[in-house]
Amino acid sequence: MNNAKLLDRARELKPILHHEVVEPVGGFQLKERYSPEKEEIVLHKLHHLAMGRGQNLCLDFGSHHVGYITLDLSYTGSHPDAPAFLKLKFAETMKELSENSDNYDGWISRSWIQEEYVHVDVLPSHVTLPRRYAFRYLKITMMDTSPKYKLVIRSAECMTETSADRGRAEPFPTGDALLDRIDEVSLRTLANCMQDVFEDGPKRDQRLWMGDLRLQALTNYVSFKNNNLVKRCLYLFAGSRFPDGKISACLFTRPTVQADDTFLLDYALFFAVALEEYLQETGDEEALNDLYDIAMQQIEIALRMCRDHVVTEDAVKDLFVDWCDELDKTACAQAIIIYALRYARRLARRKNDWSQATWLLEQSEGMKKAAREHFWDEEKQCFVSNGQISIASQVWMVLSDTLSPDEAAELMGRSEEFMDRCPMATPYMYHYYVMALLRSGLFDKAMEVIRWYWGSMLKTGTDTFWEAWNPDQPDASPYGNGGSVINSYCHAWSCTPAFFLRRYRLHEKTAS
């Protein structure tokens, strides 16, 4: 049920896209078609290579980019008497590049695999592919030429695209090489996801998700400061709610704005959270006036899913939290509602809506009390959700301020104890884990997690942070067999280390 006024405002806030031309910094040939073994090619020889049937050439664009590719193609030998038939594979990582994507048999569409077959009828010619790709490597395989000629790739360039103005992010030297690199990779991840909206990942989905938006916005405030892009995204969500007023978990902008039919209660609540954080940053009265009621509506929808201040099955069934099928999300649901109530109260105070603020406080206090009664296990000294002890439950309860600061510090101080069942699967969950550590004053521990978790990702040689990461299983994919070709290796929800470092100046507060 689109709201034309809100969507018109979102349209007015369409960002300017910034472009840059980048060229390969190196190249190599894979010795076999699907093998990581490679033979380096000296840069100045790259554009003189004559390619016949079956040969490949891999171009390394030096870092992860999002943009449009143009190839300047020519030939050696006789005038081409048949089209050049090429396969192009764009890959964010070396592993993806050398894998045979025919082996992918996962549960999301293989249409996201960045491979194209292209016939070039006229040579020499410039070929610009119409689609946008997210990649560092481009593998060009000659499917066929003809016996009379070979193909030469005279040059290749990528016209990058982002709505992040990289010049606005201030340098942030910490004096620590690993932290500097983590900050740099975080910002590249964010910038490459900042397009017409905040995308979750530029290779796949390319969609605006509420949960990702909230984290991107936080990191954006300490870097590129494209606050109008945050505002635009909030208006898009507000302008395309479901008929019952709920905010969708994600939305499409092409061909027209349309909410996806996925509802996630935590994501809907984050609308209020993200709005409040946006107002902290900007004090934007227009946004407060236009979006306040809609934010409150999400809170009220959540509260209607509770009975006697305890969440019902309704609140639990559509909840993301993390990628873990076994996770019992009841305690998380309770905690996330309490967490959102804190932001909602701030919104009400901004709006001078004092009766609402009072009512929200009552709800919050009631839910905290109920949370203690229903989920806190005195004996085990932790939160238990339907018999299950998980790190997610502890993290969200800490973030909800249900415990006293001392209790929270004590609980998070032994957080490793809760990692066995449903270990955290994503940088998204790790973000809230670090937040819970920070909220408990455990700065050293927070820094340790950042160094260990995001730092270990860097060891893969990546230039951007990933959608899913388990340091013990670097090749794992949430998408099933052969899924590593479909993983998103530049994923917005993993960009927040820059937020932690810059907002909390962690390097100054910690011992390391």
Residue 268: exposed, middle, or buried by beta-carbon count in 10 A (0-12, 13-18, 19+)?
Answer: buried
- Give me the helix-helix angle, 265-282 and 227-239, nearest 10°: 140
Which residues, 6+ apart, have CB-to-CB distance to 101 below 8 Å? 89, 110, 113, 115, 482, 485
Strands 115-120, 50-51: pairing is: unpaired
Question: Cβ of residue 123: shortest distance to a copy of itself, in angstroms?
Answer: 8
Q: Which of 167, 175, 244, 261 binds a copy of itself (CB under 8 A)?
A: 261
For residue 58, the SS3 value is strand
Site residues for a copy of itself, window 205-224 (CB under 8 A)? 205, 207
Q: How distant, in Å, are the alpha carbons of 283, 357, 488 from that of 200?
A: 26, 33, 9
- Choose the binding region for a copy of itself from 40-48, 226-234, 251-259, 459-467 (rule: CB under 8 A): 251-259
Question: Cβ of residue 88: shortest distance to a copy of itself, in angstroms?
Answer: 11
Question: Cβ of residue 116: shortest distance to a copy of itself, in angstroms?
Answer: 7
Which of 144, 407 has the CB closer to a copy of itself? 144
Q: Which of 175, 243, 255, 387 binds a copy of itself (CB under 8 A)?
A: 255
Which of 258, 289 has the CB closer to a copy of itself? 258
Q: Specify whether the CB–CB gap between 274 and 217 falls below 8 A.
A: yes
Q: Specify whether the CB–CB gap between 107 and 482 falls below 8 A.
A: no
Query: How many secondary structure helices (H) and strands (E) does the chain include?
Result: 17, 17
Q: Specify whether the CB–CB gap between 400 and 335 falls below 8 A.
A: yes
Residue 287: exposed, middle, or buried by beta-carbon count in 10 A (0-12, 13-18, 19+)?
Answer: buried
Neighbours of 120 (CB within 10 A): 18
Residue 19: exposed, middle, or buried by beta-carbon count in 10 A (0-12, 13-18, 19+)?
Answer: exposed
Which of 172, 252 has the CB closer to a copy of itself? 252
Which of 40, 102 has the CB closer to a copy of itself? 102
Q: Specify whether the CB–CB gap between 97 and 192 falls below 8 A.
A: no
Count interface residues toward a copy of itself (CB under 8 A): 36
Binding mask 105-144 for a copy of itself (x = CB under 8 A): --xxxxxx--xxx-x-xxxxx-----x-----------xx
> According to the binding rule CB under 8 A, does residue 84 interact with a copy of itself?
yes
Q: How far apart are CA 52 and CA 45, in angstroms?
A: 16
- Choose the binding region for a copy of itself from 29-37, 74-82, 266-274, 295-303 (rule: CB under 8 A): 74-82
> According to the binding rule CB under 8 A, does residue 260 interact with a copy of itself?
yes
Question: Cβ of residue 74: shortest distance to a copy of itself, in angstroms?
Answer: 11
Which of 254, 459 has the CB closer to a copy of itself? 254
> According to the binding rule CB under 8 A, does residue 79 interact with a copy of itself?
yes
Question: Cβ of residue 139: shortest distance to a copy of itself, in angstroms?
Answer: 16
For residue 396, the SS3 value is helix
Which residues, 6+ apart, have CB-to-CB distance to 384 below 8 Å? 331, 375, 376, 377, 393
Question: Cβ of residue 254: shortest distance to a copy of itself, in angstroms?
Answer: 5
Which of 100, 381 has the CB closer to a copy of itself? 100
Q: Which of 258, 358, 381, 386 binds a copy of itself (CB under 8 A)?
A: 258
Q: How far apart are CA 117 and CA 434, in angstroms?
A: 44
Which of 142, 367 has the CB closer to a copy of itself? 142
* Stretch (H or E) spanning 123: none
Q: What is the DSSP letter of 146?
A: B
Which of 114, 364 has the CB closer to a copy of itself? 114
Q: Which of 252, 323, 359, 504 binds a copy of itself (CB under 8 A)?
A: 252
Which of 108, 305 has the CB closer to a copy of itself? 108
> According to the binding rule CB under 8 A, does residue 146 interact with a copy of itself?
yes
Which of 147, 461 has the CB closer to a copy of itself? 147
Site residues for a copy of itself, window 314-373 (CB under 8 A)? none
Q: Which of 62, 83, 245, 413 binds a copy of itself (CB under 8 A)?
A: 83
> According to the binding rule CB under 8 A, does residue 509 interact with a copy of itself?
no
Q: How far apart are CA 210 and CA 196, in angstroms?
A: 15
The binding site for a copy of itself (CB under 8 A) comprises: 78-79, 81-85, 107-112, 115-117, 119, 121-125, 131, 143-147, 205, 207, 252, 254-255, 258, 260-261
